[in-house]
Amino acid sequence: MESINKSDQINHLIVGASRGIGRSLLDLSMDAGHQVYALARNKPENAPEGCTWIQGDAENPDSFMDQLPEKINALTFCPGKVILGPVKRLRKEQMLDAYKTSVLDAFTLIQSLMPRLEGSIALLSSVAARTGLPNHCAISAAKSGLEGFAIALAADLAPKVRVNVVAPTLTPTEMGLAMVGGDKMIPMIEERHPLKKIPSVGEIASTICFLHSESAASITGQIFKVDSGLSQLRLNS
């Protein structure tokens, strides 16, 4: 894995680190020798030693700010509530909740951390932000908002901090599998993708690591789609 940075001390704050992509990223970052600060509502039972676990919610950064270092070299924001359903059944409260957890919580946290931030921010979006999918109105609206926020944020924070977004297709996390009805649905879903596969959790985590690394030092304001070609390619039958 590419190192997030070549500095002696790398402080990486991962929000939503208890499971899925966030947990995989935590392991990669620790393997690279970085000091990881893992923010989650609940500390998992199998939490690895060597990182600093912070129980808290991104919407209330004042409650955990004193547990963070003075400088944060890499910030990864993974949370976002996946709310699915046809538009005729969606409630306004659900639309607002999806937007809050994806956009407003990211804004609140980043604004609070600005004096400490240097290096790189990575935000997690979804292929649904730019691809029309049935039952995805809430998450599509929320993640589209997150991507717009990220691009403007990259302009605001340049040249001190780079900001990029990773937008995967379905990833086989616990949440992702629950959305589609379990492992049995994966072959059918893979068949819809031009590469006939979906990305692993590790692939998404490695992409985020690259964006935090020195190899990406000239990349900011970009949306990286890790979606096996779903959003861009249409193949002959």
Q: 133-151: per-residue pLDDT in tens?
A: 888 999 999 999 999 999 9
Residue 55: what are its φ and ψ, rounded to 5°? -90, 120
pTM metric for this prediction:
0.91
Whether the pLDDT of residue 156 is over 70: the answer is yes
Which pLDDT belongs to residue 171?
76
Residue 78 to residue 80: CA distance in whole angstroms: 7
The per-residue pLDDT for 177 is 54
Q: Does pLDDT of 70 surpass 70?
A: yes
Which residue has tokens 């609140």? 108
Mean pLDDT of the chain: 90
In DSSP terms, 121 is beta-bridged to 75, 163
What are the beta bridge partners of residue 39?
A: 15, 54
DSSP sequence for 114-157: TTTEEEEEEEE--GGGTS--TT-HHHHHHHHHHHHHHHHHHHHH
Q: Where are the domains of the chain?
A: 11-173+200-226
Q: What is the C-alpha to C-alpha distance for residues 122 and 106, in angstroms, rounded to an integer?
A: 11
The reported pLDDT for the residue numbered 8 is: 59
Selected residue with higher pLDDT from 21 and 174: 21
CA–CA distance, 108 with 75 (Å, rounded to integer): 14
Residue 107 clears pLDDT 90, i.e. is over it: yes
Element (H, E) at 113: helix 105-113
CB 160 within 8 A of CB 119: no
Proportion of the chain above pLDDT 90, given as a percent: 70
- Sign of the dihedral through C-alpha 169, 175, 178, 179: negative
Q: What is the mean pLDDT of residues 42-61?
A: 90
What pLDDT, on a 0 to 100 scale, did the predictor assign at position 46? 81
Length of the chain: 237
φ, ψ (nearest 5 deg) of residue 82: -90, 110
Bigger pLDDT: 130 or 14?
14
Q: Distance (Å, rounded) from C-alpha 26 to C-alpha 39?
A: 11
Confidence band, pLDDT 50/70/90 cuts, at residue 25: very high
Residue 1 confidence (pLDDT) above 90: no
CATH superfamily of 11-173+200-226: NAD(P)-binding Rossmann-like Domain (3.40.50.720)
- Tokens 């190192």 sit on residue: 3
pLDDT higher than 90, residue 234: no
Q: What is the dihedral of CA 147, 152, 153, 155, to 10 degrees?
A: 130
pLDDT of residue 5: 47
User: pLDDT: is 170 or 14 the higher one?
Assistant: 14
Answer whether 206's CB lies under 8 Å from 1's CB.
Answer: yes
Q: What is the mean pLDDT of residues 78-95?
A: 89
Mean pLDDT for 218-233 is 94
Three-state DSSP at 161 gives strand
